[in-house]
Protein backbone atom coordinates (compact mmCIF):
# COMPACT_ATOMS: atom_id res chain seq x y z
CA UNK A 1 0.00 0.00 0.00
CA UNK A 2 1.64 3.21 -1.15
CA UNK A 3 -0.05 5.19 1.61
CA UNK A 4 2.15 3.42 4.18
CA UNK A 5 5.29 4.60 2.37
CA UNK A 6 3.88 8.12 2.15
CA UNK A 7 3.18 7.99 5.88
CA UNK A 8 6.84 7.06 6.42
CA UNK A 9 7.87 10.01 4.27
CA UNK A 10 5.63 12.19 6.41
CA UNK A 11 7.23 10.80 9.57
CA UNK A 12 10.60 11.86 8.15
CA UNK A 13 9.28 15.46 8.14
CA UNK A 14 8.04 14.95 11.69
CA UNK A 15 11.51 13.83 12.76
CA UNK A 16 13.04 16.94 11.18
CA UNK A 17 10.62 19.13 13.13
CA UNK A 18 11.47 17.29 16.34
CA UNK A 19 15.20 17.68 15.69
CA UNK A 20 14.73 21.40 15.11
CA UNK A 21 12.83 21.82 18.37
CA UNK A 22 15.42 19.84 20.33
CA UNK A 23 18.26 21.87 18.82
CA UNK A 24 16.70 25.16 19.89
CA UNK A 25 15.85 23.65 23.27
CA UNK A 26 19.47 22.66 23.85
CA UNK A 27 20.88 26.01 22.76
CA UNK A 28 18.18 28.40 23.99
CA UNK A 29 16.10 26.39 26.44
CA UNK A 30 15.38 29.37 28.69
CA UNK A 31 13.53 31.07 25.82
CA UNK A 32 11.10 28.20 25.29
CA UNK A 33 8.06 28.28 27.55
CA UNK A 34 6.47 24.99 26.45
CA UNK A 35 5.48 22.78 29.37
CA UNK A 36 2.74 20.37 30.27
CA UNK A 37 -0.38 22.30 31.12
CA UNK A 38 0.25 25.07 28.61
CA UNK A 39 -2.41 24.77 25.91
CA UNK A 40 -1.77 27.96 23.94
CA UNK A 41 -1.04 26.11 20.70
CA UNK A 42 -4.07 23.87 21.37
CA UNK A 43 -6.32 26.89 20.79
CA UNK A 44 -4.56 28.31 17.74
CA UNK A 45 -6.39 28.10 14.41
CA UNK A 46 -4.63 26.12 11.68
CA UNK A 47 -5.33 23.50 9.03
CA UNK A 48 -3.84 20.25 7.79
CA UNK A 49 -2.65 19.06 4.41
CA UNK A 50 -4.28 15.81 3.28
CA UNK A 51 -1.24 13.65 4.06
CA UNK A 52 -1.15 14.87 7.65
CA UNK A 53 -4.93 14.59 8.02
CA UNK A 54 -4.88 11.00 6.76
CA UNK A 55 -2.00 10.11 9.07
CA UNK A 56 -3.74 11.61 12.10
CA UNK A 57 -7.01 9.82 11.27
CA UNK A 58 -5.04 6.56 10.89
CA UNK A 59 -3.57 6.98 14.39
CA UNK A 60 -6.83 8.29 15.87
CA UNK A 61 -8.65 5.12 14.80
CA UNK A 62 -6.33 3.08 17.06
CA UNK A 63 -7.49 4.87 20.23
CA UNK A 64 -10.08 3.32 22.52
CA UNK A 65 -13.75 3.77 21.56
CA UNK A 66 -14.45 5.90 24.64
CA UNK A 67 -11.61 8.32 23.92
CA UNK A 68 -12.64 8.60 20.28
CA UNK A 69 -16.26 9.19 21.21
CA UNK A 70 -15.34 12.03 23.56
CA UNK A 71 -13.15 13.63 20.88
CA UNK A 72 -15.87 13.35 18.24
CA UNK A 73 -18.28 15.07 20.60
CA UNK A 74 -15.77 17.91 21.00
CA UNK A 75 -15.57 18.12 17.20
CA UNK A 76 -19.20 19.25 17.13
CA UNK A 77 -18.41 22.21 19.38
CA UNK A 78 -15.23 22.98 17.45
CA UNK A 79 -17.13 23.14 14.16
CA UNK A 80 -19.70 25.51 15.67
CA UNK A 81 -16.91 27.77 16.90
CA UNK A 82 -15.17 27.67 13.53
CA UNK A 83 -18.36 28.61 11.73
CA UNK A 84 -18.84 31.55 14.09
CA UNK A 85 -15.22 32.54 13.55
CA UNK A 86 -15.65 32.43 9.77
CA UNK A 87 -18.59 34.81 10.01
CA UNK A 88 -16.53 37.26 12.06
CA UNK A 89 -13.60 37.10 9.65
CA UNK A 90 -15.59 37.69 6.46
CA UNK A 91 -15.55 41.42 7.13
CA UNK A 92 -11.75 41.44 6.68
CA UNK A 93 -11.55 39.40 3.47
CA UNK A 94 -10.82 42.55 1.46
CA UNK A 95 -8.05 43.60 3.83
CA UNK A 96 -5.45 40.79 4.01
CA UNK A 97 -3.40 42.31 6.83
CA UNK A 98 -6.44 42.85 9.03
CA UNK A 99 -7.62 39.35 8.19
CA UNK A 100 -4.31 37.80 9.28
CA UNK A 101 -4.25 39.79 12.53
CA UNK A 102 -7.86 38.90 13.28
CA UNK A 103 -7.18 35.23 12.59
CA UNK A 104 -4.15 35.24 14.89
CA UNK A 105 -6.36 36.48 17.73
CA UNK A 106 -8.93 33.72 17.28
CA UNK A 107 -8.96 30.97 19.89
CA UNK A 108 -10.67 27.67 19.10
CA UNK A 109 -10.12 24.55 21.19
CA UNK A 110 -8.59 21.61 19.37
CA UNK A 111 -10.82 18.51 19.68
CA UNK A 112 -7.73 16.45 20.55
CA UNK A 113 -7.39 18.41 23.80
CA UNK A 114 -9.15 16.51 26.57
CA UNK A 115 -10.75 17.94 29.71
CA UNK A 116 -7.53 17.34 31.68
CA UNK A 117 -5.60 19.62 29.35
CA UNK A 118 -3.73 16.79 27.62
CA UNK A 119 -3.50 15.96 23.91
CA UNK A 120 -5.00 12.51 23.35
CA UNK A 121 -2.79 12.07 20.26
CA UNK A 122 0.35 13.81 21.51
CA UNK A 123 2.81 11.33 20.00
CA UNK A 124 1.23 11.90 16.58
CA UNK A 125 0.37 15.61 16.86
CA UNK A 126 0.67 17.84 13.76
CA UNK A 127 3.99 19.39 12.76
CA UNK A 128 2.62 22.87 13.44
CA UNK A 129 2.11 21.87 17.08
CA UNK A 130 5.63 20.42 17.34
CA UNK A 131 7.40 23.66 16.38
CA UNK A 132 4.96 26.15 17.90
CA UNK A 133 7.29 27.18 20.72
CA UNK A 134 10.39 27.93 18.60
CA UNK A 135 11.07 30.55 15.89
CA UNK A 136 9.63 29.53 12.52
CA UNK A 137 9.78 31.10 9.09
CA UNK A 138 6.55 31.67 7.11
CA UNK A 139 6.84 33.53 3.80
CA UNK A 140 10.25 34.76 4.85
CA UNK A 141 9.02 36.21 8.13
CA UNK A 142 10.03 34.89 11.53
CA UNK A 143 7.19 33.91 13.86
CA UNK A 144 7.18 32.59 17.40
CA UNK A 145 4.77 31.83 20.23
CA UNK A 146 3.75 34.96 22.13
CA UNK A 147 4.74 33.33 25.42
CA UNK A 148 8.30 32.58 24.31
CA UNK A 149 11.19 34.76 25.51
CA UNK A 150 13.24 35.04 22.33
CA UNK A 151 14.65 38.57 21.90
CA UNK A 152 14.34 40.67 18.77
CA UNK A 153 17.98 41.81 18.87
CA UNK A 154 19.40 38.27 18.85
CA UNK A 155 19.65 35.58 16.19
CA UNK A 156 18.25 32.11 16.69
CA UNK A 157 17.83 28.95 14.60
CA UNK A 158 14.61 29.26 12.58
CA UNK A 159 12.55 26.31 11.38
CA UNK A 160 11.53 26.64 7.73
CA UNK A 161 7.77 26.00 7.76
CA UNK A 162 7.45 27.14 4.15
CA UNK A 163 9.72 24.33 3.03
CA UNK A 164 7.81 21.83 5.15
CA UNK A 165 4.49 23.00 3.70
CA UNK A 166 5.89 22.43 0.23
CA UNK A 167 6.78 18.85 1.13
CA UNK A 168 3.39 18.27 2.73
CA UNK A 169 1.71 19.52 -0.44
CA UNK A 170 3.82 17.15 -2.55
CA UNK A 171 3.01 14.16 -0.36
CA UNK A 172 -0.68 15.11 -0.31
CA UNK A 173 -0.75 15.25 -4.09
CA UNK A 174 0.82 11.80 -4.30
CA UNK A 175 -1.65 10.44 -1.75
CA UNK A 176 -4.67 11.80 -3.61
CA UNK A 177 -3.37 10.62 -6.97
CA UNK A 178 -2.65 7.13 -5.70
CA UNK A 179 -6.16 6.95 -4.21
CA UNK A 180 -7.83 7.79 -7.51
CA UNK A 181 -8.68 11.44 -6.90
CA UNK A 182 -9.04 13.19 -10.26
CA UNK A 183 -8.71 16.73 -8.89
CA UNK A 184 -5.14 16.78 -7.57
CA UNK A 185 -5.37 20.50 -6.87
CA UNK A 186 -7.32 19.48 -3.78
CA UNK A 187 -3.87 18.84 -2.34
CA UNK A 188 -3.61 22.58 -1.76
CA UNK A 189 -6.77 22.64 0.35
CA UNK A 190 -6.40 22.58 4.10
CA UNK A 191 -8.56 20.56 6.46
CA UNK A 192 -9.65 21.26 10.01
CA UNK A 193 -8.81 18.77 12.72
CA UNK A 194 -12.50 18.44 13.49
CA UNK A 195 -13.29 17.50 9.87
CA UNK A 196 -10.25 15.21 9.85
CA UNK A 197 -11.46 13.24 12.86
CA UNK A 198 -15.02 12.92 11.57
CA UNK A 199 -14.06 11.81 8.04
CA UNK A 200 -13.22 8.13 7.33
CA UNK A 201 -9.61 7.49 6.33
CA UNK A 202 -10.55 6.21 2.87
CA UNK A 203 -12.47 9.40 2.16
CA UNK A 204 -9.62 11.60 3.36
CA UNK A 205 -7.21 9.80 1.06
CA UNK A 206 -9.50 10.47 -1.88
CA UNK A 207 -10.12 14.09 -0.96
CA UNK A 208 -13.81 13.39 -0.37
CA UNK A 209 -15.17 15.76 2.26
CA UNK A 210 -16.56 19.27 2.57
CA UNK A 211 -14.72 22.15 0.91
CA UNK A 212 -12.19 23.65 3.35
CA UNK A 213 -10.80 27.15 3.05
CA UNK A 214 -8.03 27.80 0.55
CA UNK A 215 -5.21 30.34 0.39
CA UNK A 216 -3.96 30.29 3.99
CA UNK A 217 -2.89 33.74 5.26
CA UNK A 218 0.87 34.17 5.55
CA UNK A 219 1.28 30.70 4.06
CA UNK A 220 0.04 29.00 7.20
CA UNK A 221 -2.40 26.12 7.06
CA UNK A 222 -5.40 27.71 8.75
CA UNK A 223 -8.80 26.77 7.45
CA UNK A 224 -9.91 25.32 10.70
CA UNK A 225 -8.79 23.91 13.96
User: For residue range 117-158, what is the model confidence (pLDDT) as tens digits?
Assistant: 999 999 999 999 999 999 999 888 888 888 899 998 899 999
Query: In this structure, what is the dihedral angle of CA atoms 20, 24, 25, 27, given to the nearest 10 degrees?
Result: 140
Q: Is residue 222 part of a domain?
A: no
Q: Is residue 149 part of a domain?
A: yes
Q: Is residue 224 part of a domain?
A: no
Q: What is the pLDDT of residue 220?
A: 42
- Are the beta carbons of 137 and 159 closer than 8 angstroms? yes
Q: What is the pLDDT of residue 22?
A: 96
Q: Is residue 181 part of a domain?
A: yes
- Number of domains the chain contains: 1
Q: Is residue 223 part of a domain?
A: no
Q: What is the pLDDT of residue 129?
A: 94
Q: What is the pLDDT of residue 219?
A: 41
Q: Is residue 221 part of a domain?
A: no
Q: How many CB atoms lie within 10 A of CB 10?
A: 21
Q: Is residue 225 part of a domain?
A: no
Residues of the chain with pLDDT under 70: 1, 91-106, 210-225
Q: Is residue 71 part of a domain?
A: yes
Residue 45: which domain range?
2-214
Amino acid sequence: MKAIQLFRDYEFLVDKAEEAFQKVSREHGSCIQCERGCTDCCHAVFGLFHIEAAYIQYQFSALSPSIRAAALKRCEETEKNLEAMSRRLRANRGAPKKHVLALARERVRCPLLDDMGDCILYAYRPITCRVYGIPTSVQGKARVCGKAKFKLDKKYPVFDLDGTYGQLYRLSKELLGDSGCEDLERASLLLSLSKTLTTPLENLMKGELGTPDKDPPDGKPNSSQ
